[in-house]
Structure 1
Amino acid sequence: MKPRSLMFTLYGEYIQYYGGEIWVGSLIQLMSGFGISESSVRGAILRMVQKNLLKVRKKGNKSYYSITEHGKRRVDDGVTRVYAAPRAAWDGKWRILSYSFPEEKRELRNEIRKELTWTGFGMISNSTWISPNPLENQVMEMIKIYQIEENTILFSCSDVVSHTNDSIIEKGWDIGQVSDNYDKFIEKYSPEFEQLREKALTNTLTDEECFIKRTSIVHEYRKFLFQDPGFPRDLLPEDWVGTKARELFWNIHQLISIPSIRYFESIYESAPDQEIKPVRDKAINPFKEVYV
């Protein structure tokens, strides 16, 4: 588990509901449960500060870290997509982004590709990306943040003359591979769910174990954000295995959520000048009924 990726998970799962800021000592202790050393945590924090993903605030001799606006966009997008149920109906529109970057902006072009993949777009040609989801606001925000107005064109259409919707999906995404990966997720975590449920019934689950399990499964499930575009059900195969994987994820999450939060609260330390009003109910159950 990479420190930077784990930090995004911790901020999205816990810290954002407790004022969005945490003492570095608490962060080090929380991450030690995943085998990450203090030096690795501090190194990851430094790199994230340099990339404008984290910012630091000093109070006395202690350092407190929070997510920047740039980092918060990634956290918020991830939380929304992990916990929101897919829409049932497609509005019939394709969102299409085309771009052209000069060679000296090659690194920027690669960054935009990562952003689009994360958002759920599929690439149908070297410079053309497409999605059936209403992502106009997110894409326009990305364009503004990266200042690439002159390099991009975003438009939507209801008809693709040369291809069927199924062939567009086949060009842009490997749905078969996504399905296989969901099968592997179910195969791995179904036995874990039964074991956790048995331990819960016999009152042998510790708060720390629940915290590690919840964080780990969220961390694992987040990987699907780079694979599964989150299609409306209209565009998915019948008996889509992703639905079963989400139900399993929900079952495990809710089984161990309350003790997970208890453990986090036992480690978490905010700055002494901060009056924190935790949004504990959302930290326990962040699931939403409708995709937004």
Structure 2
Amino acid sequence: MSSGATTGRGGALVRLALGQGPLKAASFIVTVYGDVVEPRGGVVWIGSLIETCAAVGISETLVRTAVSRLVAAGQLSGEREGRRSFYRLTAPARAEFSAAARLLFGPPEPADWHFVHLTGSAPEEAMQALERAGHARLGPRLAVGCRPLPPSLTRGVVFRAGIVQGEDDLGAFAREHWALEPHAAAYRGFLDRFGALTGELEGGLRPDPATCLAVRLLLVHQFRLVVLRDPRLPAAALPADWPGAAARRLFCDLYLRLSPEADRHVARRFVTADGALPEASEATLRRLALLRETA
């Protein structure tokens, strides 16, 4: 970790939440915006990002490089007030973040089964985009899924579908067309890592506000990566020991435990051109209420 990383027992919690692999700066900054900045207005001083990323071992140089790349990718736009640089989410990024927030913090969405017949001259490229979005390939131009279609899909015929018979065989259909084990393994890894962290908290450890925020961000970051890759099939299509529901309960429980101190730290350390970010907003309070219904 960098010299700015959290130390002591709080540092041990952060290292436990980090796991073994290094963080990608741009992806983690996306998590910071989604969890902290977007529900409080969408703009923040780069110094707040640098301080927050230092707590998880990401250097200032990597933060500045990542922010520049996010600007070039059209996800952030910059503005200056005196000597300070502030960055806000662009309109397309805000729409994308809103969809991700519904997935992370909202109730489970009902399955929306559909078939997609690809048209156009590059079906393989479009098919790979569909597979990344959780759909299963049935043929060179035909796919099935129940997740939203990727925004990049501009050519294709979409048929809405419903299960009219054979629901008992839906699990066999899913096993044939989706590789579910990697997703189950990702959920089990999440449960192992953050279940151990829960044990530390239940053992009496009371981390400081900065540590609470760092750990909550790592919790959201890891859960987001797992959930966004999940094909999110309905329960009838999943194995009986599917770990997704247990992972969601753990996510909800830990998020609620960490949030009081984490949000206090946000109000103390996150800065906009108009002053500090608020400790809470209508959006953050709604998130907590939704999580309490699941926990």
How far apart, CA to CA, are the structure 1 residues paired with 2:66 and 2:258? Answer: 28
* Cα 1:281/1:19, change in 2 over 3 Å: same
Is contact 2:104–2:224 with CA below 8 Å preserved after alignment? yes
Which of 199, 208, 218 matches 2:204?
A: 199
Once the two structures are superposed, residues 235-276 of structure 1 have per-residue CA deviations (whole angstroms, 9 ceiling, x without a partner) of 333353211111112111111111111112221111139997
- Aligned pairs (5 A) from 1:68-217: 68-87=90-109, 94-102=113-121, 109=125, 113-114=128-129, 116-117=130-131, 119-133=133-147, 135=148, 139=149, 142=151, 146=152, 149=154, 151-158=155-162, 165-200=170-205, 204-217=206-219
Contact 1:86 1:230 in 2 (8 A): no
Q: What is the CA distance between 1:123 and its match in structure 2?
A: 3.2
Which of the pair has the greater relative contact order for Cα pairs under 8 Å at 6+ separation? 1
Is the alpha carbon distance of 1:253 and 1:69 closer, same or farther for their aligned partners in structure 2, counting shifts above 3 Å?
A: same
C-alpha distance after superposition, 1:19-63 (max 9, x if no partner):
111111111111111111111111111111111111112223322
Alpha-carbon distance between aligned partners in 2 of 1:234 and 1:198, rounded to the nearest angstrom? 37
Structure 2 residue matching 1:52: 3-state secondary structure: coil
TM-score, normalised to structure 2, is 0.78
**Alignment-mate amino acid for residue 143 of structure 2:** W
2-structure distance, mates of 1:121, 1:284: 31
Deviates more, 1:240-249 or 1:269-278: 269-278
CA distance change for structure 1 residues 73 and 182 in 2, over 3 Å: closer, same or farther? same
User: TM-score w.r.t. structure 1 length?
Assistant: 0.78
Q: 1:44 aligns with which of 50, 63, 66?
A: 66
Task: Check the 8 A contact 1:84/1:288 in 2, yes or no.
Answer: no
Secondary structure at the aligned position of 1:58 is classed as strand
| Change over 3 Å in CA distance of 1:85–1:34 after alignment to 2 | same
Q: Which runs of 5+ in 1 are unaligned?
A: none
Q: How many residues are paired up?
A: 269
* Change beyond 3 A, Cα 1:4–1:195: same
Give the Cα separation in 2 of the matches to 1:264 and 1:275: 7
- Counterpart Cα distance in 2 of 1:283 and 1:243: 18
- Percent of matched pairs sharing the same residue: 21
1:8 aligns with 2:30: yes
User: Using a 3 Å threshold, how does the CA distance of structure 1 residues 100 and 65 change in structure 2: closer, same or farther?
Assistant: same
Instruction: Give the 3 Å change call, closer, same or farther, for CA 289–255 of structure 1 in structure 2.
Output: closer
Among 31, 41, 52, which residue is 2:53 paired with? Answer: 31
Change (3 A) 1:197 1:165: same
Change (3 A) 1:193 1:70: same
Contact (CA 8 Å) 2:252, 2:292: kept in 1 or not? no
Aligned ranges for residues 54-65 of structure 1 at < 5 Å? 54-65=76-87
Say what the alpha-carbon RMSD is for the aligned residues: 3.2
Shift in Å at residue 71 of structure 1?
1.8
Query: After TM superposition, which residue ranges in structure 1, 4 or more long, deviate above 6 angstroms?
Result: 273-277
What one-letter code is carried by the residue in structure 2 that aligns with 1:2?
Answer: K
Taking the aligned partners of 2:218 and 2:103, their CA distance within structure 1 comes to 17
Q: Is the 8 A contact 2:146 2:231 kept in 1?
A: no
Q: Decide whether aligned partners of structure 1 residues 125 and 61 sit closer, same or farther in structure 2, where only a CA change above 3 A counts.
A: farther
Kept in 2, the 8 Å contact 1:96–1:130? The answer is yes
Distance 2:31 2:114 in 1: 28
Check conservation: 2:213, 2:265, Cα contact below 8 A: yes
CA-CA distance at 1:117 after TM superposition: 4.8
Relative to 1, partners in 2 of residues 1:32 and 1:286: Cα closer, same or farther, differing over 3 Å? farther
Structure 1 pair 158–22 and aligned structure 2 pair: CA distance change class (3 A) = same
Give, as a single letter, the amino acid of the residue that structure 2 aligns with 1:95: H
Cα deviations across residues 197-230 of structure 1 (Å, max 9, x unaligned)? 2235xxx321111111111111111121243222
CA distance in structure 1 between the partners assigned to 2:83 and 2:259 by the alignment: 33
Could you tell me how far apart the structure 1 residues matched to 2:137 and 2:94 are?
A: 25
